A and B are shown apart, each in its own frame.
Chain A
Amino acid sequence: DAKTTQPPSMDCAEGRAANLPCNHSTISGNEYVYWYRQIHSQGPQYIIHGLKNNETNEMASLIITEDRKSSTLILPHATLRDTAVYYCIVRGYTNAGKSTFGDGTTLTVKP
């Protein structure tokens, strides 16, 4: 499985955009980038995924570099409820869909 590297922690002011980076330099051509988040004592929650094009949904935007070696999750208007651990994962059919989680980024949104 391709490994990912994320900063251990980040702060963001409430109402501002939160930009969470992820490096996945060993990603292979058939692997997607997935983002999950985990609020304390809950199971991980799916946010968004993409292959090579930028993606947007009601929760966030995902920007993937052209070489696919890194990506950025953008929460456009962070709220206090977005405080969580954010995990970036790469996954494809060769690993049967199982997710290899790192330690993620702890995002703290401050008022």
Chain B
Amino acid sequence: DTGVSQDPRHKITKRGQNVTFRCDPISEHNRLYWYRQTLGQGPEFLTYFQNEAQLEKSRLLSDRFSAERPKGSFSTLEIQRTEQGDSAMYLCASSLSWGELAGLETYEQYFGPGTRLTVT
């Protein structure tokens, strides 16, 4: 399967614990995005990488959240001192990008299956 993969698919943790999620994008994709989705709502943008550089972070991404993409390949999203409000589906997506100088950006994003986090 050459799609976006995420690990683990489900994570149950106790409040205050740290958790880390992994995303493996489609191999030739240089952009990687993280989204969060709570029940009944659409996904919300958290952050994105162009190769290994983290170029934008949403205000939703508090100081307890950190994301990395070493070597521009897989990415990890870590949540420290989890809170019950962190319970959600965490989605990863990847895409190609021409870059801003190329003008219109038309490449679609491919999403992974998500990691469902439950904080008890």
Contacts and interface: CB of A to CB of B under 8 A. Distances in A.
B95 A30 contact: no
A103 B97 CA distance: 26
Interface stretch (B59-67, B75-83, B105-113): B105-113
A100 interface: yes
Interface in B85-99: 91, 93, 95, 97-98
Q: Interface size bucket, B side?
A: 20 to 34
Given A34-B108, A46-B108, A97-B107, A104 B114 contact: no
Given A42-B114, A43-B113, A103-B41, A96 B56 contact: yes
- Classify the interface of chain A: helix, strand, loop or mixed: loop
Given A43-B91, A98-B56, A99-B45, A92 B105 contact: yes
A97 B111 contact: no
B31 A44 contact: no
Given A87-B42, A98-B48, A101-B42, A43 B114 contact: yes
A32 B56 contact: no
Given A45-B111, A91-B105, A98-B56, 19 more contacts: A30-B103, A42-B113, A42-B114, A43-B93, A43-B113, A44-B93, A44-B111, A46-B110, A93-B102, A93-B104, A96-B100, A97-B31, A97-B33, A97-B48, A99-B33, A99-B45, A99-B93, A100-B45, A102-B42
Interface of A: 30, 32, 34, 36, 41-46, 49, 51, 85, 87, 91-93, 96-104
